[in-house]
Structure 1
Amino acid sequence: MQKRDRLVRLNLQKHGLLVLVGLVCILYWQKATGLYFLLQLKPITIWLLSNLKAAIKTSMTEVIFNPIFYGMTAAILLLERLFPVEPKQKTFSIGLLQDSIWLLGSFVMRFCWIAPCTMGIDWLYTKLLGNWGINLPQLLALPDWLRFILSIIFADFVTWLSHLLMHQHSFLWRFHVIHHSQAQLNLFTSLRVHPGEMLLRYPILVLPWYLFAIPYPGQMYYIFFYNWYGRFCHSGIRCNMGWLKHIFVTPQYHRVHHSIELRQHNQNYGSLLTIWDFLFGTQHHDTQDYPGTGIDDPQFPIAQKFTLPSVVRTYWAQILYPFH
């Protein structure tokens, strides 16, 4: 059984990498082509400024002036105090302050990179592919609710596969290790994602919405849920969700994935569903295990002081870490 699982994972890594590389090449090509036409309409400086303006506006509406953000954040912090994995870890730890900087950086990255890619993908489907993809009669004939569920399942598999590849290939791991470096897991650790990782993973994740013709409101509902569910699973809450742990990723399940212990490396890659780890033999079966987290690298830059200048300097040091 172990030999079969190893063979399955090896083949999945080989073919999975080819699939992802092919998708990324297509997306990069169409992005460059799409932006070429886009930049004929407005100078590049205006385009960049408009994206920066959109990033600032979104940060205002999604965080600074959004009561839902504060309510959800307060609820997760309260649950961390009521059911802590590490009772000695402070609620407002250095780790939380550090990842708050990554939260702010994520808004800029979203509109400097993800938004252009999304526009490029939309251009590819609407201008080039014609009846291939979003206009498949077989897909459009399905009920809206079924297409929405299938798109979520497909998106979750693509996320799982790209996550596995980030761990299995040394070059990709140099970027993904930033996410795993947090020894004090908190709700904003899910946003500790290096821009180099975004180049591979984020653009392809919008493909299911176009493939299954999911309208904009449906996409936004799922993204809202997915973002907050990721924050919940990265939090320091001692919780495995009872019988739901057999279907959905839990804080305990994902904590094992972040384990600093060698015996637990390369397990529990799931983001929402546990089915993919179960099928491909990468699931950790002890649902009561709450290991320590982080990476074993004394050279990795970590903030030493609970001050804003310290964590900002550390943020830029972590951005540069993959290139050292």
Structure 2
Amino acid sequence: MNRIEIAGTAAVALAALFFIFAERRRPYNPGQRLFRPGFWNDLVLYGLVQSFVLGLVIGRIIGALDAGTDWSRLHLVSDWPILWQLVFFFVVHDLYIYFFHRLQHRSRFLWRFHEAHHSVENVDWLSGVRSHSLEILVNQTVEFAPIVLLGAAPEVAVLKGMVSAVWGMFIHSNLDVRLGVLQYVVNGPEMHRWHHANDPAAYNRNFATKLALWDWLFGTAYFPPRDERNAAKYGLAGTPFPEAFPSGYFVQQALAFRPAADPPGKSAPDGSGGAT
């Protein structure tokens, strides 16, 4: 790791510590435990092991793409100021994620790889890392490949990754933050926690990750009144399992490959009343 990668990793670690402390001081859902069900599974297997392994795999994929195309040698964005490069990739990727996320909630096939992310019943700073390995493989390859192939500065990939990681903690955090009019532009816990709510009024809403303006522009925003600001329940509305969604990492990974004929139940994002 070079200096900027070390600095980026340290910034993410410090952000995690900040959210742990902030959630205790100003919780969105008072009484929610730090070590909630699935905490260690999410921290160790998703947050550390999966992230490390996929980082290596995605690096190899992007390296192979670059070697086969030589596009990075065209330096298409190299002359741009680093800030402009970062903003460009930030906005373009965020728009992609918005539409891909909507598609995940419409396609039964894609939903199977997104389902685990919605299985967390105690949404907090860490719950965002619970995402299927193939979902991360696709989304992060799409996120970082253009940065390399268009010849962006090396710092841009690190900064973009750091922003994505910290923002992911923020929007899932059990933190009582009220952004006011900014909520019409940037995304925060007030809106994104409703995306994870087991509440029919919030189904298929709030798909944005960083820029909430996509939801407002495309008619998918859900921002209830203050007296309804907290959902009664989070997680999946129902699964093929009578008790609960499986809690183990490897079971959650394998579950996405169950036969297509397997009825998706209420968790299906097909208009049958499932969670989103």
**TM-score, reference length from structure 1:** 0.68
Give CA deviations for 1:74-131 in whole Å, capped at 9, x if unaligned. 21112111221221211222232231131123234324532222212322441xx588
Which structure 1 residue ranges, 4+ long, deviate > 4 Å from structure 2? 66-70, 139-144
Q: Which moved more, 1:277-286 or 1:142-151?
A: 142-151
Larger relative contact order, structure 1 or 2 (CA cutoff 8 Å, min sep 6): 2
1:15-94 maps to which residues of 2 (within 5 A)?
Answer: 68-94=11-37
Give the match for residue 318 of structure 1: 252
Q: How far apart are 1:322 and its partner, in Å?
A: 1.6
Match of 1:39 in 2: none
CA shift for structure 1 position 67? 5.7
Find the residue that maps to 1:236 and give its secondary structure: coil
Deviation sequence 1:275-318 (CA, Å, 0-9, x none): 22122111113374222310022514344xxxxxxxxxx22221
For residue 196 of structure 1, report the CA deviation from its aligned partner. 2.5
Rg comparison, structure with higher value: 1
Percent identity over paired residues: 23
The unaligned stretches of length 5 or more in structure 2 are 259-276
Distance 1:323 1:151, change over 3 A: closer
Kindly tell me the number of residue pairs found equivalent between the two proteins. Answer: 248
Correspondence list, 1:1-324, <5 A: 68-100=11-43, 101-126=45-70, 129=71, 134-136=74-76, 142-210=80-148, 213-286=151-224, 288=226, 289-291=229-231, 292-297=233-238, 299=241, 300-303=244-247, 314-324=248-258
Change (3 A) 1:90 1:117: same
* Separation in structure 2 between the aligned mates of residue 196 and residue 140 of structure 1, nearest angstrom: 30
Normalising by structure 2, we get a TM-score of 0.79
Q: Distance in 2 between matches of 1:68 and 1:211?
A: 26
The CA distance in 2 between the partners of 1:145 and 1:73, in whole Å, is 25
1:154 CA displacement: 0.8
Contact 1:159 1:205 (8 Å CA) reproduced:
no
Deviation at 1:73, TM superposition (A): 2.2
RMSD: 2.8
Q: Within 2, Cα distance between the matches of 1:171 and 1:62?
A: 38
Residue ranges of structure 1 left out of the alignment (5+ in a row) = 1-53, 55-60, 304-313
Aligned partners of 1:179 and 1:193 also within 8 Å:
yes
